[in-house]
Amino acid sequence: MNVVLYFRYSSSSQTEQSIEGQDRVCTEFCQRNDYHILNRYIDRATSAYKDAEKRTNFMQMIRDAEKGKWDAVVVYKLDRFARNRYDSANYKAKLKKAGVKVISATEPISDSPEGIILESVLEGMAEYYSRELAQKISRGMRESALKGNVCGGQTALGYRIENKKWVLDPVEAPIVKEAFELYDAGKSVSQIINIFEEKGYRTSKGVPFNKNSFYHMFKNERYIGTYIYGDIRIENGMPAIVDRDLFERVRDRNARTHKAPGAMKAKVDYLLSGKLFCGHCGANMIGESGKSKTGAVYYYYKCHNAKYNHTCDKKAVRKDWIEDNVAREVFQRITPALIDELAEMAVKASEEDVENNTVIPALRAELQDVERSIKNLFRLVERGSDSEDLFHRLGELDDQKKDIERRLIDAEAEIIILEKKPIVWWFSRFLDGDIENPEFKKRLIDLLVNSVTIYDEPDGTRIDLALNLLSSSTVTIKSSDLDCNAPPTLMNPNFRIYPERRIIVFTIKYPVN
């Protein structure tokens, strides 16, 4: 019988010795059975479970089989041919159509019904092993990530790897810091690219910087020391290159530039671009201008649907009026007394949200009960009791305690618990500003204002002014996005707190002029 041999090893951790071993066994098998070997097909460091098409020599073998020059493919084991039952059946059917069968050198399988069953069992075991191995690797990677170890992926500019940990690169880290400082100082991305080109700076891939380089850099939380792998986040899990305050200023400006690029390029700076919403239909209020008969230019915000789709009757609002009122309303609320009251109420609201809407209190109570039971059993041991049942029960309680602690960690990771100190710090940064200073007004709106929703009402104008409780509150939430099924905590008649959203909403009414 004319045959070909097919060999494969699945990972770079294996070596050519694996191929040599397969070749030796298969060759001896063919010699014993008087098979004539015409060719050898070899795939190195390729998986048999996924993407059979990536096994180039395997696919070439399938194509060559159609030429009818040989009668069988000899493999070391069936799992070398495929670890996926679908692929195994599919490609065996193609070979069978060409008059070629698959023979295992180490798994003698007859053509009897029993042999068919045995072959199916072996293929199923191969697929099970492959999936189990993948799960073990995934678990291992996750455990390594929880320790803050490097788990692959592209190395960010500014870092290198030492002993499986991220460390600062003394050459690249200053480049990253310089980019943040230049952008924070008002330089555009294009200007920074020109500066870096003149200095000969290059990315981690060794190529010149482009706009995308900075778009990703300026929102990469690794630069403030946050270790990230999949859903795992470890604050201060790696060395930081820039401080959090600088990072947040740069990230906020970077996000605004991409969210409302027209606002950044316009001759007139619409401070509420991307933050002002129509209370009637929920659409964005966009900046526009118009001229009077005398030639004077006026600037407005107008509902997108009213302007382009004519599906909303919201009136345009004067730019200066809404921006000045929003800035003044925010600034008037930033007093030490109100900041302290606000922080206290926000923390209390957050605690009540945890208490009333999560399983955390129940898990904590359950944990206390188990710990109490363990202490009681230890007292019995100290008094001399040493029965086998007692120690068995201690083991059960210890396992139960670990399970509750794991569930508690998972539950706490899913919620946001507000703390007083960062809230006070966040608002206190704006105490000494000058509301008449255009730059301070812009910064006040940029960082503190989350959204403004404006309504036309019979007796005047109403706005819902949402402020960020923390500097990490960067997602804009308009009134229509607030979940009516999870109402805010009413800590004070003047405002509503949404702990989960990390925002506070003030409703303000302006009578008809």
In tens, the pLDDT along 207-216 reads 888 888 888 8
Tokens representing 295?
Answer: 């030639």
Look at 367 and 410; give whichever has higher pLDDT: 367
Mean pLDDT of 30-39: 92
Least confident of 140-149, 258-267, 402-411, 413-422: 258-267
Exposed/middle/buried for residue 434 (C-beta within 10 Å: 0-12, 13-18, 19+): exposed
CA distances (Å), 240 to each of 222, 258, 309, 422, in order? 7, 25, 48, 19
Mean pLDDT of 367-372: 86
Q: Does pLDDT of 493 surpass 60?
A: no
The residue among 137, 131, 62, 146 whose CA lies nearest residue 97 is 62
DSSP letters spanning 125-184: HHHHHHHHHHHHHHHHHHHHHHTT---SSPPPTTEEEETTEEEE-TTTHHHHHHHHHHHH
With pLDDT > 90 as the criterion, what percentage of the chain qualifies? 13
Q: Does pLDDT of 116 surpass 70?
A: no
pTM flag (> 0.85): no
Tokens representing 121?
Answer: 């069992």
Host H or E run for residue 109: none
pLDDT digits (tens, 9 = 90+) for 55-93: 788 888 888 888 888 899 999 887 777 656 556 667 777
